[in-house]
Amino acid sequence: MKVTDDNYYSAEVNREYFSVSQFKAFQKCEAAAMAELRGEFSPAYGRALLLGSYVDEMLTGTDESISKFIERNYSEIYKKNGDPYADIAQANETVARIRQQPKMMHYISGQHQVIMTGEIEGVPFKIKMDSFDPDEYITDLKYMASLRSPNLFTPMVEYWGYDIQAAVYQEIVRQNIGKRLPFMFDVATKENPAHLALGQISQFNMDKALDTVRSLVPRFQKIKTGELPARRCEEYGCDYCTSTKIITEPIDTDLFGMSTAQINAMNGNIY
């Protein structure tokens, strides 16, 4: 199946191809990822997805695509009196600041929203790049809460799985054009004032992340095709496992709030 801009996010394409977001969903909870593929579960993204898409569109979109985006999301962007919501107004200020940064603008001045497909361990993958220059770089634009990692011991890029994204994108591009390109992050935070940064992920970290993908994706593919059952994560913060959990027996109250993984680890059972 040919992947196009029109069908990139379709259920049919998502069943045939992995994307980085789908791979990370399987990492987080296999059962939730499969339920989403079947149309039985929709993660709550809130306004984070809208704001990220808005900043992407303002910086890399055409006049026509920007107009269409605003038309589709008008009620989420503007109040009834026509004023933008506060977070949109702040995003506009951040966009204006980025436009005054020549280096940041350079790395988002390539071809926009370029789609490519390839395979990792024989499993089909699709990617869609914010900015792509076949002679120089792949760039992803991030509008995020903070440059700081929520976990003191895990770097921010690794915590959010951006190393996985960089590794997959670089590998699929390599398969298509025959060379490995640097992966850049144009980053702006939602803080006030926004922190701006231009980052390049190391080849070492991308190689390590690609090894992770290679080791896990064969199992995930077997789950997608029905050859293996999907595991439930039973994490406290998993909306899917929380909303579909069946209580079978009482547990010790000392275990309240612990995930299945934590309980298994306490018992020495780690899979």
SS3 content of the chain, % helix, strand, coil (to 5): 50, 15, 35
| CB distance 144 to 190 below 8 Å | yes
The more confidently predicted of residues 257 and 178 is 178
C-beta of residue 158 within 8 angstroms of C-beta of residue 165: no
Average pLDDT, the chain: 94
> For the segment 49-86, what is each residue's pLDDT rounded down to a tens digit?
999 999 999 999 889 999 999 999 999 999 999 999 99
Residue with tokens 């109040």: 79
- Residue 78 contacts by C-beta under 8 Å, 6 or more apart in sequence? 84, 85, 88
Q: Where in the chain is the domain with CATH 3.90.320.10?
A: 47-212
Model confidence pLDDT, tens digit, residues 206-245: 999 999 999 999 999 999 999 999 999 988 889 999 999 9
Report the distance separating Cα 60 and Cα 186, nearest Å: 12
Average pLDDT of span 6-25: 96
Q: What is the pLDDT of residue 99?
A: 97
Class of domain 47-212 (CATH, top level) = alpha beta
Contacts 24+ apart (CB under 8 A), 54-58: 54/88, 54/91, 55/91, 55/94, 55/95, 55/141, 55/143, 55/188, 56/130, 56/141, 56/143, 58/91, 58/92, 58/95
| Per-residue pLDDT at 151 | 87
| Cβ atoms 239, 44 nearer than 8 A | yes
In the structure, what pLDDT confidence band is assigned to residue 266 with cuts at 50, 70 and 90?
Answer: low
Beta strands 137-144 and 183-189, pairing class: parallel
pTM above 0.95, yes or no: no
Q: What is the pLDDT of residue 172?
A: 99
Whether the CB-CB separation of 143 and 87 falls below 8 Å is answered with no
Q: Side chain identity at 175, as an amino acid letter?
A: Q
User: Do residues 166 and 201 touch, judged by C-beta distance below 8 A?
Assistant: yes
Q: Identify which has the larger pLDDT, 185 or 237.
A: 185
